[in-house]
A = this chain, B = another copy of it.
Amino acid sequence: MAKDIAELREWTAGITDLRRACSVLQWDKDTLMPPLGAPLRAEQLATLERIAHERLTSERTGELVAAAEAELDGIAPDSVDARIVSETRRQYEKDRRVPVELAVARAKAASQGYETWVAARAAGDFSRFAPALERNFQLAREYIDCFDSYDDPYDVVLDDFAPGMRTAHATQLLYEMRDRLMPLIDMLRERDVDVSPLHVDYPVAGQRQLVDQVLRWMGFNDAGWRLDDTIHPFETSFSVTDVRLTTRYHEDYFPAGLYAAMHECGHGLYEAGVEPELQRTPLGLIRSSAIHESQSRLWENMVGRGRAFSSVLAPAVAARSGGALSGLQPDALFRAVNAVQPSTIRIEADEATYGLHIVLRFELERLLLARELEVDDLPAAWNARMQEYLGVKVGSDAEGVLQDVHWSAGLIGYFPTYAIGNLIAGQLWQRVRSDISDLDDQLAAGELQSLREWLREKVHRHGSRYSDPELLAQVVDGPVEVAPFIEYLKAKLGDAYGVGLD
């Protein structure tokens, strides 16, 4: 290995370790930490963020990257070495425009914002939340001001989660999706589906057993994974063999805990599937939230809410329900979990209305960033758009603007990746079904290994080696498209509702 590349690898390995250490502190904070631990934890995270930022943006990084670039002559441009160098260059050029004090302030505001969100949500009190929201948006504006080469200010924050994607492109995809979803929703809105099996008292102990069983089918094992409780489910990992999932349980609505766990396990399989030799390199941390969400949404919805998997899921659901769902039939479960029912909560939304929840957030965060909407006016704007897009009335801020953790935790620009992830999942699903001809038979038997291996081979193992367009070109022969997702959804909903949707 060339000397300067080796040195760059060593240097960036330390930065990766720091990022992973931050993740450990954050995971602990959001799962197990006693509440009074929060203030000092925020300081500790800020210090780690400061050091990571200082290192990444230091002259030493600049020199090492330049020296390593000089060594790349004759090395394939998509080799691991070349990509470690180019990814470090990309991060260096982006982050060094951001003053360390701003980076630290953003980390602190994110930590504190999360705590504020938890308290405000519990109290259902938006006014407690507003200052943290204002602070995070203000810091995001200052962050955007560090840059100049964008078409739209939102490009800067979107790029943090979907590197290289421009706002215009995201807008085009989201609006095409919206315009194809809305008629579908309208068509199904008045039709009846029996969702009563979802709304039973299902003992939490039984839900835990159910989730345990389903995650083990997916690939969860005790040697390299953990599952814990939290308020807002998330996944994180500290190595390819130390993956942490979280979920939360509702006694009277078991799909919440089950599908959140499948969603997070989809994320976890991605991170667990990265080639081990990449894990201490900049390619070992997943750069693209859009690809990440394609994995979580594929497992949650295309597998978890699919007809095939219902064959094995329904008896598993029935067996642990304490009698509440004894005899539950696969078809009844399949139809219930695919009911298109506009509602107020994003993470419990069906796949058709889900996209509109995202469009709403995308529009509102752009308005807030541009100061075309003030924080104080957000609840009214939120509720009005919920009415417009989904025809639902938001009863309280707790089931409205307070439902999501993202903005409070500084994740501004993240939401579109959920919807784009759905679109990519549609493309991957189309492809894997053609590659594995008996996939449905396997899913119906709870055998998820072929699917997992396919995803690992095509997507997971590469980590952040390829850009999203490069990866998609390899796996689905082209860029992000809306059609495969819509076609998938129409076929599934047509099946669930027993109607033709084309």
Chain A positions within 8 Å of B, measured between CB atoms, are 13-14, 17-18, 20-21, 24-25, 28, 32-37, 39-41, 43-44, 46-48, 50-51, 222-226, 238-239, 241-243, 279-280
Interface pair A39/B226, CB less than 8 Å apart: no
Interface pair A21/B37, CB less than 8 Å apart: no
Interface pair B20/A242, CB less than 8 Å apart: no
Chain B residue contacts of A43, Cβ below 8 A: 13, 17, 280
- Can you list 5 pairs linking A and B with CB atoms under 8 Å apart? A14-B51, A34-B225, A35-B224, A39-B239, A51-B51
Q: Answer whether A47 and B18 are a contact pair too, CB < 8 Å, given A34-B226, A40-B242.
A: yes
Interface pair B34/A223, CB less than 8 Å apart: yes
Chain B residue contacts of A13, Cβ below 8 A: 43, 47
Q: Name the distance in Å between A240's Cβ and chain B's nearest Cβ.
A: 8
Chain B residue contacts of A223, Cβ below 8 A: 34-36
Chain B residue contacts of A222, Cβ below 8 A: 34
Query: Quick one: which of B21, B33, B39, B41 contacts A44, CB cutoff 8 A?
Result: B21
Q: Name the distance in Å between A380's Cβ and chain B's nearest Cβ.
A: 36
Chain B residue contacts of A35, Cβ below 8 A: 223-224
Interface pair B37/A239, CB less than 8 Å apart: yes
Interface pair A242/B36, CB less than 8 Å apart: yes
Counting every copy of the chain, the complex holds 2
Interface pair B34/A20, CB less than 8 Å apart: no
Chain B residue contacts of A36, Cβ below 8 A: 223-224, 239, 241-242
Please report the C-alpha to C-alpha distance between residue A224 and residue B36 in the assembled complex, in whole angstroms. Answer: 5
Q: Name the distance in Å between A259's Cβ and chain B's nearest Cβ.
A: 23
Chain B residue contacts of A32, Cβ below 8 A: 32, 226
CB closest chain-B residue, reference A223: B36
Please report the C-alpha to C-alpha distance between residue A95 and residue B37 in the assembled complex, in whole angstroms. Answer: 29
Please report the C-alpha to C-alpha distance between residue A13 and residue B46 in the assembled complex, in whole angstroms. Answer: 11
Chain B residue contacts of A14, Cβ below 8 A: 47, 50-51
Interface pair A20/B37, CB less than 8 Å apart: no
Q: Answer whether A40 and B25 are a contact pair too, CB < 8 Å, given A34-B223, A222-B34, A242-B34.
A: no
Interface pair B48/A17, CB less than 8 Å apart: yes
Q: Answer whether A17 and B47 are a contact pair too, CB < 8 Å, given A36-B241, A223-B35.
A: yes
Interface pair B239/A41, CB less than 8 Å apart: yes
Please report the C-alpha to C-alpha distance between residue A243 and residue B33 in the assembled complex, in whole angstroms. Answer: 9
Please report the C-alpha to C-alpha distance between residue A423 and residue B226 in the assembled complex, in whole angstroms. Answer: 43
Interface pair B21/A47, CB less than 8 Å apart: yes
CB closest chain-B residue, reference A48: B21
Interface pair B242/A37, CB less than 8 Å apart: yes
Q: Name the distance in Å between A95's Cβ and chain B's nearest Cβ.
A: 18
Interface pair A20/B33, CB less than 8 Å apart: no
Give me 17 other A-B pairs in contact (C-beta within 8 A), A14-B47, A17-B44 excluded.
A14-B51, A17-B43, A20-B44, A21-B47, A21-B48, A24-B25, A32-B226, A34-B222, A34-B241, A37-B239, A37-B241, A37-B242, A39-B239, A40-B239, A40-B241, A44-B238, A51-B51
